Amino acid sequence: MKKGVNEFIIKDVSPYLTQGQIQATSKGSFLILDVQYQTEYVAPPAIQPTIIPEKIQKEINILNDSLLFISFEVERITAKLANLNDEKRMVKQNQLIKAGGISDTLPELKSVVEYYRVKLDDINELIHKWKKRQYIVSLREKKHRTRLSELNNYASNIKQPVQPAQTRHHILVTTYSDYTTTGKVEVNYFVNNAGWVPAYDLRASNTNSPMMITYKAHVYQNTGEDWKNVNLILSTYDRTFSVTKPTAGTWRLDYTINKPVMTQQGLIQNEVYYSQNSLSSVELQATRDDLKAKNPSYKEIDAQFQSMQTMAAINQNFSNVEFDVKLPYSIKADGSQKLMVVMNEKVDAEFYHFMLPRMNKYGFLQAKIGDWENLSLLPGKANIYFNQTFVGSTTIDPAAMSDTMELTMGRDQAIVSKRKKVSEEEKKVKLGKRLLVTRTFEIEIRNNSRADIDLTLEDLIPVTANEDIEIKIIKGDGAEFDEVTGKLIWKLNMKAGQKRVLEFTYSIEHERGKPVS
């Protein structure tokens, strides 16, 4: 850069950059005076005259000449057919046949008839011959015209299309130096139209090894610039920075009711409060103005609305993380997603089997992962693999998960159950006014695998909210019973190849003559 003020243009940047978020850094003995965003409108190039290739033009000329001679041939054939049809008509209209001729002798009549037959046969043969020639000529004419139309379309389309004016986007950096010097200017800017979607692979090879969590990302961008071998940092932060100093404000906490309750005098009732998401800023201001107009003592109301606006401006982010992608990637600016691996993480998992024999005879392998909060998980789809086999997909939502993340690793056909009803008895009780039904079920479980397993088995008995119906568990065979849900839960340790039989009995007592279901 020369002594004094210099201007440098960084050409063809993204058209989606945010103009207020351009930064320029100087590296050298000079100052940066200004950074501006500019657009340049480029006029389309002049259209060159169309030049048809010599081979195409020669074929077009030959086809035009051929079509001219074909038209002559068509005209000749048409005239020939017209003459033959006239001759045929004259023969048919001859009065010798119609009037019987000048002689009625049989030999003369036969001679006349034979003459007309031979003459008409000759004429019809000639007409047939010329019609065949007419058909062949029409096919050749159609073929030539089709080819000529194709060549003419090609000749008309090789013209340069009319191009609209293009817009180019640049950054203008103004510098100042006390003397001629060299240096570097680094420019960075924020663009929209780019983002990423998290995804995961959860892999377990067996029930004794840790689980591998593979963080993946589907990255997309439509910024107008192709990214070639770029290093990426995937972030959950809001990167829209501002030069204005942020203000914390006041965070007031209270009970929440979604909408305000108005009295006839236009006052806010004392027991009504507002939540952070109850009203938009427009609704808040409109309600505030309406209350101030209706109530003279609006200062207290104004204070309440001030607290509401302060709460609405607070934004909490509980999962702000960044991931450094180890490999460079090339991503085109077409909006398509590029899948990349972010990182791999090993986690300890507790495996157990679950069975619900009344719904499915097989066991399901479950995995419990504790302390998942330290994994920086984000909401996303997860593919589950066990022993190199794809099991299925699930959705990870940290906001909806408890302290332990539980995943289904698929059905284990080596753990089999068989459930059947052993008995059902009915008897009258309380002077025959009520009916007591007792049912017994048997569950047979087999561990056909070569390893010991921890098994959680569930079954169900009915529950009721009707006080006239009494349901009791008579035999649970060691199960935990939940009176609210009616669940029977067994915690079992099954040895390899072991078979166990469980039995439970419950009773239902209700008024006789009133069926229950």
Looking at residue 236, its pLDDT comes to 80
Contact predicate 487/460, CB 8 Å: yes
In a domain, 299, yes or no: no
Structure confidence at residue 445 as a pLDDT band (50, 70, 90): very high
Whether residue 13 sits in one domain with residue 153:
no
The kind and range of the H/E element at 409 are strand 404-429
The beta strand positions in 178-210, using DSSP E, are: 183-191, 194-204
Dist. CA 479–CA 505, nearest whole Å: 11
**Do 118 and 186 belong together in one domain?**
no
Statement to judge: residues 153 and 8 lie in one domain: no
Residues 87 and 173 in one domain: no
Clarify whether residues 18 and 150 are in a common domain.
no
Q: Give CA 421 to chain center in angstroms.
A: 48
Does residue 350 form part of some domain? no
Q: Which of 417, 437, 418, 419 is nearest to 427 (CA)?
A: 437
Same domain, 502 and 417: yes
69 shares a domain with 15:
no
In a domain, 395, yes or no: no
Structural domain tally of the chain?
A: 3
Strand partners, 450: none
The DSSP-derived string for 23-65 is EEEEEES-EEEEEEEEEEEEPPPPPPPP---HHHHHHHHHHHH
Q: Could you tell me if 272 and 259 are in contact, meaning their C-beta atoms sit under 8 angstroms apart?
A: no
pLDDT at 498 over 90: yes
**Domain end residue (candidates: 192, 210, 239):** 192
Q: What is the CATH number of the domain that holds 447?
A: 2.60.40
Identify whether residues 12 and 78 lie together within a single domain: no
Determine which of 77-86, 360-369, 394-403 has the lowest per-residue pLDDT on average: 394-403
> Is 205 a member of any domain?
no
Over its C-alpha atoms, the chain yields an Rg (Å, rounded) of 46
Pick the residue with more confidence: 322 or 187?
A: 187
Give yes or no for residue 171 having a pLDDT over 70: yes
Judged on CB neighbours under 10 Å (0-12, 13-18, 19+), 149 is exposed
Average pLDDT over residues 298-320: 41
Distances 503 to 446, 476, 506 between C-alpha atoms, Å: 15, 7, 10
Taking 90 as the threshold, does the pLDDT of residue 480 lie above it?
yes
466 and 422 in a single domain? The answer is yes
Answer whether residue 366 is part of any domain: no
Q: Indicate whether 16 and 149 sit together in one domain.
A: no
CA distances in angstroms from 316 to 186, 254, 273, 320, 465, listed in the order given: 33, 17, 21, 10, 43
CA dihedral (154, 157, 160, 166) positive or negative:
negative
What six digits make up the tokens of 342? 């972010």
Q: Confirm whether 29 is domain-assigned.
A: yes
Tokens coding 422: 């052993």
* Residue 447 scores a pLDDT above 60: yes
Question: What is the greatest pairwise CA distance in the chain?
Answer: 139
Q: What is the pLDDT of residue 296?
A: 52
Task: Give the residue, 406 or 458, on which the prediction is more confident.
Answer: 458
Q: Are residues 77 and 110 in the same domain?
A: yes
Residue 403 belongs to some domain of the structure? no
Print the domain residue range for 430.
Answer: 413-511
Average pLDDT of span 2-21: 89
Residue 500 located in a structural domain: yes
Q: What is the pLDDT of residues 259-289, one digit of tens each?
A: 444 443 443 333 333 333 344 444 455 555 6
Task: Give the number of other Cβ atoms within 10 Å of residue 439's Cβ.
Answer: 18
- pLDDT category at 309 given cuts 50, 70, 90 is very low
Residues 60 and 132 in one domain: yes
